[in-house]
Structure 1
Amino acid sequence: MMKNADALLAPLTAEQATRELLGRHLRSFKENDLEAIVSDYMEESVLVTQKRTYTGIAEIRAFFSNLIVDFPSESTTFDLDILVVYDEVALIVWHAKTPTIQVIVGTDTFIVSGNKIKQQSFVDMMKFV
Structure 2
Amino acid sequence: MTTKEILDHHWDAFTTQDLDMVMEDYDEGSVVITNMGTFRGLDEIEGLFTNIFDEFSQAGSTAELEMEEIEGDTAYIVWHGETPDNHYAFCTDTFRIEDGVITMQTFAGDVQPK
Same fold (TM over 0.5): yes
Unmatched runs of 5 consecutive residues or more in structure 1: 1-11
Query: Which residue of the partner structure matches residue 60 of structure 1?
Result: 45
Given candidates 55, 75, 87, the residue that maps to 1:90 is 75
Q: Contact 1:70 / 1:98 at 8 angstroms: preserved in 2?
A: yes
Equivalent AA in structure 2 for residue 96 of structure 1: G
What is the percent sequence identity of the aligned residues? 32
- What is the alpha-carbon root mean square deviation over aligned residues? 1.3
Secondary structure, counterpart of 2:28 in structure 1? strand
Which has the larger helix fraction? 1
Q: Contact 2:58 / 2:83 at 8 angstroms: preserved in 1?
A: no
Tell me, in whole angstroms, the C-alpha distance in 1 between the residues paired with 2:58 and 2:6. Answer: 20
- The TM-score, its normalising length taken from structure 2, stands at 0.94
Q: CA deviation at 1:100?
A: 1.7
Equivalent AA in structure 1 for residue 64 of structure 2: D
Q: CA deviation at 1:127?
A: 1.3
Unmatched runs of 5 consecutive residues or more in structure 2: none
Count, aligned residues: 114
- The TM-score, its normalising length taken from structure 1, stands at 0.83
Q: CA deviation at 1:62?
A: 0.3
After TM superposition, list the pairs within 5 Å mapping 1:1-40 onto structure 2: 17-40=2-25
Q: Contact 1:30 / 1:73 at 8 angstroms: preserved in 2?
A: no
Tell me, in whole angstroms, the C-alpha distance in 1 between the residues paired with 2:57 and 2:26. Answer: 22
Q: Which has the larger radius of gyration?
A: 1
Point out which structure has higher relative CO (alpha carbons under 8 A, 6+ apart). Answer: 2
Structure 2 residue 81 is matched with structure 1 residue 116: no
